[in-house]
Amino acid sequence: MSSSHMDNIPSTPGKFKMEKSSYIQRCRHFSSVAKLTFFVFLGLILVLFFKSPSTSSLSSSSSSPYSSSSSIASDLSRRSLKTSSWGGLAWEKRVRSSARIRSRNGFSVLVTGAAGFVGTHVSVALKRRGDGVLGLDNFNDYYDPALKRARQSLLERSGIYIVEGDINDAALLKKLFELIPFTHVMHLAAQAGVRYAMENPGSYVHSNIAGFVNLLEVCKSANPQPAIVWASSSSVYGLNTKVPFSEKDRTDQPASLYAATKKAGEEIAHTYNHIYGLSLTGLRFFTVYGPWGRPDMAYFFFTRNILKGKSIPIFEAANHGTVARDFTYIDDIVKGCLGALDTAEKSTGSGGKKRAPAQLRVFNLGNTSPVPVSDLVSILERLLKVKAKRLVMKLPRNGDVQFTHANISSARREFGYKPTTDLQTGLKKFVRWYVSYYGSVKKSDQ
C-alpha cells in the first residue's frame, strides 16, 4: 500500500465557530409503560452479558452455519482484554509524542476505535489541524483485521500512535489519563452491525454498554475531566415511522440488539452527565460510506460481489415496498464530528464530583436524502462497468428497517453541519479507492 492512499483521506479545515444560538436538550416524553418496557429489555441484555462466555459462544455457534470450535475461540478472543502488552518508557514516549498538541489552542484527543472506519478519518483530520491525537483499538476480527492494520499504517505515517488495548481494560485507560491530560475523548469504539447481533449478542453488551461505562468511569475521575463526543446510531429510531427522524422523536422501540445497546448508551450518558458533570455529545450516524470503509456494509460487499460475478441481495419491504437509506459520505461525517468536538463545553466535575450542570447533547449526522438500495446498485454498475446479478428478497426480520432519513436542523444550527456529497460522487471516490487498495478481483476476495 503506497502513501498515495493518503489522498483518499479528507482534509478538514480549522475549528468550527459556534453561532450565537442556544441549544437546550429537551427531555423526551415517553409513556411510563414504554419506559418500563425498555428498561426491562435492558435488564435482559445485562443478564445475557453476565452469562458464562461458554454459554454465549455455544448459542452463537448454534445459530451459524459455519459453527466450529474455532468460532468459539474467536468469540472468546474478542472479549479478551489481553490484546497486547503495554507500558514501559519507550511505550510512554510514543504515547506522549502522539498526543502532543502542535497548534495554538489545540486539543488533546483520545480516539477510541481509531483503527475503525470513522475513527481513522477523524484521527487524520484532527492531526492535520494540529490537535494531539492518541488512538486506542483492540483490532478484533469482526471483519478482516488486515484492513484495520492497513489503516493503522496510514495513521502512523501521519504521526498517530494507536495503543492496542480494550476499552474494558480500566488499568490501561487510567494509565493513559495519567500520562496525558486529555481535553476531549472521541469515543468511536463499538461492536457494529445489526445482523451480527443474532450470532454473537454478548459482544454488543461487552463493547457498547460495559465498555462505554468503563470509559465513563475513568473519565469521571480524571482531573481535568474531558469533554466526550461519542458515536450513537440512527438505529435508535427503530420502528419509528415519522420521517425525517428528529432528535425529538421517540427512541424506545429498538428493532435490533445493536440499536438497544446504543439507546442504552444514550441513557447511560444522561446518568453520568447528571451525577458526575461529564460533558457528553452523542452523534447518531446515518449509513456512513466511503474509502477505507467497513466490509460488512452493503455498498462494500456489493462492490466485491459485483466484481466477482456473484449475486447480491436486494431487499424489499412488504407489498414490494422500497428499502432506502440516508447514505452519508465519510467526509461529511468527519466535519460533523469535528463540529461537535469544537462546540463541546468543558465537563464540570472534579475528583468524581459534579460542581455544576454540564452540557448534554445528541445530534443526527445524515445526508437528508434517502436513496433506494436498488439505485445504489445501479450507480455501482455504472462505475464498475459490470452488470450486477440482483437477487430480490424479502426484508428479513433480523433488525433491518425499511428506511432511514435524518433531520439535521439541530446540527446545522449548532455547528454549521451541512453535508455536500451526493451518493454518485461519494461512490465514485469509494470505487476508486477500492480498486486501488485491492488491486484485482482475486485480491478482493479478502
Contact 373, 294 (CB under 8 A): no
* Runs of H (alpha helix) within 30-86: 32-49, 53-62, 69-79
Residue found by looking up cell 445493536 in the block: 258
Q: Smallest Cα–Cα separation from 333: which of 6, 10, 5, 7?
A: 10
Distance, CA of 110 to CA of 184 (rounded, Å): 7
What Rg value do the Cα atoms of the chain yield, rounded?
Answer: 21
Instruction: Classify residue 364 by its DSSP letter.
Output: E
351-to-168, 226, 272, 278, 430 alpha-carbon distances in Å:
21, 12, 14, 12, 46
Cell numbers for 327, please give them.
Answer: 447514505
Q: How many CA atoms lie within 13 A of 134 on its CB side?
A: 28
Q: Choose, from 161, 204, 258, 417, the residue flagged as catalytic.
A: 258
Strand order in the sheet with 280-285: 161-164, 132-137, 108-112, 184-187, 227-231, 280-285, 360-365
Which three cell numbers mark 172?
490501561
Identify whether 258 is a catalytic site residue: yes
**Percent helix, strand, coil in the chain (nearest 5)?**
45, 15, 40
Instruction: Kindly state the cell numbers that stand for 101.
Output: 498538541
Pairing, β 108-112 against β 184-187: parallel
Secondary structure (H, E, C), 142-181: CCCHHHHHHHHHHHHHCCCEEEECCCCCHHHHHHHHHHCC
SS3 of residue 140 by DSSP: coil
Q: Which residues pair with 363 in a beta bridge?
A: 283
Can you say how many angstroms the Cα of residue 172 is from the centroid of all Cα atoms in its chain? 21
Cell readout for 36 is 418500563
Active site residues: 258
